[in-house]
Amino acid sequence: MSRYEAVIGLEVHVELKTETKLFCGCSTEFGQAPNTQVCPVCLGLPGSTGVLNKKVVELAARAGLALNCKIGAYTWFDRKNYYYPDLPKGFQISQVFRPIAYQGYLDIEVDGRDKRINITRAHIEEDPGKLVHSSGSIMTSSSSFVDYNRSGMPLIEIVSEPELRSGAEAKAYLEKLKAILEYTGVSDVKMEQGSLRCDANVSVRPAGTAALGTKTEIKNMNSFRAVQRAIEYEVDRQIDVLEDGDRVVQETRAWDENKGITMSMRSKENPDYRCFIEQEVSPIELSDEWIEDLRVTIPELPDARRKRLVAEHGLPAYDAGVITSSLSLAEFFDATLEKFPDAKKISNWIMGELLRLLNARGMELGESKITPAGLASLLKLIEKGSISNKIGKEVFEAMFQEGKEPAQIVKEKGLSQISDEGQLTQIIAEVIDKNPKSVADFQSGKEQAIGFLVGQVMKATRGQANPGVVNAMLREKLAE
């Protein structure tokens, strides 16, 4: 048992799924040429005033409801003042004093233990622009390039209570948060495109004490796995500092993925943002009726769906957890099940082949060509014995890449399983001729020798023979 306890809180920024920005009609599309989605409002030109995007209010409130938050009946925006080149107005419009959502929670499971993590608040704010540094790193660059396409895109910042105790809990929290936001349709939650970003506040204290230690803020983590690793590294580092009799310095540290360490970026004394109420954007009043209208649009969430897959289809809890961790996967499962009513078989193929190929290629489900109808047809071919399970995997990969019907792939590649005894008779005769020792072994009572002979037939047919048929035919032949 460690003498120290880690205290971790996460700040997660999520880009909302809107067509246009928070206060102007510029596009939010990702990956366009620099400064082609800008206007006087998001460039902060003097005299410009934005108008609040209604969809943002609705998506933010939905996210809050899905995270079990209270929704503020009367909330507003504030200005957070600071200078940085990615912030064209010299202030960020955020919700400092009255967040749209507060006092929520989500439930995680780590090592078989359930834990509730409270959510302090979720508030709306605008994204700053994007900086690219001339020599790659801000520390060594003589100049930087600013792209304001992202400036003014709508974000919600979701702040957890400092109730996480390990990197693994932080990762589980993020996975659950991502799934809930995806199910609710409020965000694309693509970390690689920056639509979900996470900073971690980390401190340690002697186990069993209540006072908080000095915290550091960790940035620059580009995957959930990186968040876990960075927290684990930082906790160990802080414990070492304390064990050496030193003090942890309050600062912002950057995670270096290649070196696997955190490095000091800047010391962080409490900055003075001089926040005050934004008078150029109207306050938001959400009536009970409006909130209820939004509440009914929230679909079945991951935990409920997981329990349903276990209860209705008898899936193991583990399988159900994997499948419901992403909405697209859960929908794929349901659609396949409509056409092929064997839940466990489908889940085996999703967790085995589908996820293996997606992970290996770093792809999203939508980017592959596989369809639920296609998988169902493939499983029917295997069930009928037209192809073996092993050949099925080969067909699956072709479907994944080319999107053709499985029957067509089987035909084109000549993969059909040989169950025809006429075709097999000659091959079996040859195998018996070439392997007199195994034949003698089997005939003298060594049962396992049959396995070797079946294997030889399978090899000769490049895996296309039906092993059950081969086994029966061999036994019949050898008994003669």
Partner 1 sequence: MTVSEKDVEQLAFFSRLDLTAEDKAAYTKSLNTILDYLAMLKELDTGAVEPAAHVLPVKNVFREDSLRQGLERELALANAPEVEEGAFVVPRIV
C-alpha span between 450 and 434 (Å, rounded): 14
Min dist CB 98 to partner 1, Å, is 8
Min dist CB 129 to partner 1, Å, is 9
Residue 378 structure tokens:
């493939």
Phi first, then psi, for residue 398 (nearest 5°) are -65, -40
Min dist CB 357 to partner 1, Å, is 36
Cβ proximity to partner 1: between 39 and 373 the closer is 39
Alpha helices in 154-252 (DSSP H): 167-184, 224-243
Q: Which residues bind partner 1 (CB under 8 A)?
A: 18-20, 24-27, 33-40, 42-43, 51-57, 74, 76, 81, 83-85, 98, 131-132, 138-139, 141-148, 266, 272, 274, 277, 279, 281-285
Given a contact cutoff of 8 angstroms between Cβ atoms, the answer to whether 305 and 187 are in contact is no
Name residue 18's amino acid. Answer: T
Residue 45 structure tokens:
């030109």
Cβ proximity to partner 1: between 147 and 353 the closer is 147
C-alpha span between 21 and 55 (Å, rounded): 10
Neighbours of 309 (CB within 10 A): 24
Cβ proximity to partner 1: between 284 and 354 the closer is 284
Residues contacting 88, CB < 8 A, separation 6+: 42, 43, 44, 129, 148, 151
Min dist CB 61 to partner 1, Å, is 13
Min dist CB 35 to partner 1, Å, is 5
Min dist CB 349 to partner 1, Å, is 39
Cβ proximity to partner 1: between 24 and 310 the closer is 24
Cβ proximity to partner 1: between 84 and 318 the closer is 84
Length of the chain: 480
Give the closest residue to 117 by CA, choosing from 238, 270, 9, 242: 9
Cβ proximity to partner 1: between 81 and 166 the closer is 81
Position of tokens 């202030």? 91
Min dist CB 72 to partner 1, Å, is 11
Position of tokens 């209705």? 312
Give the closest residue to 311 by CA, choosing from 343, 346, 339: 343
Cβ proximity to partner 1: between 34 and 467 the closer is 34
Given a contact cutoff of 8 angstroms between Cβ atoms, the answer to whether 56 and 18 are in contact is yes
Give the closest residue to 56 by CA, choosing from 142, 113, 125: 125
Give kind and range of the element (H or E) at residue 380: helix 372-384
Min dist CB 270 to partner 1, Å, is 13
Cβ proximity to partner 1: between 1 and 33 the closer is 33
Q: How many CA atoms lie within 13 A of 101 on its CB side?
A: 27
Cβ proximity to partner 1: between 225 and 274 the closer is 274
Min dist CB 103 to partner 1, Å, is 20
